[in-house]
Amino acid sequence: MNLVLFGPPGAGKGTQGSVLAEKRGLTKISTGDILRDAVRAGTTLGIEARKFMDAGELVPDSVILGLVREVIEDAGNTGFIMDGFPRTIAQAEGVDKMLHDMRKSIDAVIVLEVPNEALVQRLSGRRSCPNCGAVYNVYYDKPKQEEKCDRCNSELVQRADDKRDTVVRRLDVYKEQTSPIIDYYQKHGADVHFINGDRDIEDVQSDILKIVDR
Ligand SMILES: [Zn+2]
């Protein structure tokens, strides 16, 4: 089973992908992770990627796709989950061509959907303790004292990424980037499933498993 998993920031895509990978023995492909690993390991493509990163440039699709291909080859016959990748139509086409060469294909595309307002609450409500790492949410998992850690009484902080305006912008970017790719998969006859991600982690996972285990 080879999957592509999409979901907006805050939808729990990372968690769902990891749980699924573990449960079904799938290889999780997150381009950020494989890029970091290749650079650290100093592989040929890792060295190539590093040149662009050091120059402050985007790593070209040819290098990214090469890295993805290596991971899929290493995974052998176990399936994979592409996590938030491809990000552009050009990458989606590149992936299709690459998989065709490898006599593989995408079996399903899973899109986690969560209403924007819920995502804004999940992300912009997040506060963490810089001292002990405890995490809170001011909307539904409040600390007992406002902006203070229950465990160690330190002042809680909000990540710059989680500020309301930034969250709204991140969600817009996701939508602009992802909608055309989902359209692309639908037009090319892929098996696209939309799952309500605004529920407990277990319920969402159970719906994903129904698709994977058909
Ligand atoms: Zn604390």
Q: In what order do the strands lie in the sheet with 108-113?
A: 27-29, 80-83, 3-6, 108-113, 192-196
- CA-to-CA dists, residue 181 to 57, 107, 163, 167, angstroms: 23, 16, 27, 21
108-113 vs 126-128, strand pairing mode:
unpaired
**In angstroms, what is the span from residue 12 Cα to ligand 1's centroid?**
24
Cα 57 to Cα 64: distance, rounded to the nearest angstrom: 13
Helix, strand or coil, per DSSP, at residue 30 = coil
pLDDT of residue 158: 96
Residue range 56-67: mean pLDDT, rounded: 95
Is 78 in contact with 28 (CB distance < 8 Å)? Answer: no
- Rounded Cα distance between 38 and 57, Å, is 17
Distance from the CA of 19 to the center of ligand 1, in angstroms?
27
pLDDT of res. 213: 93
Q: Taking the C-alpha atoms of 10, 12, 18 and 23 in order, what is their torsion angle to the nearest 10 degrees?
A: 180
Closest CA to 114 of 20, 2, 16: 16
pLDDT score of 77 more than 90? no
**Averaged confidence pLDDT in the chain:** 95
pLDDT at residue 109, rounded to an integer: 98
Positions annotated as catalytic residues are 13, 87, 126, 159, 170
Indicate whether 128 pLDDT > 90. Answer: yes
CA of 171 to the centre of ligand 1 (A): 29
Instruction: Compute the distance from residue 154 Cα to the ligand 1 centre, in Å.
Output: 6
What pTM does this model have?
0.89
Residue 130 pLDDT > 90, yes or no?
yes
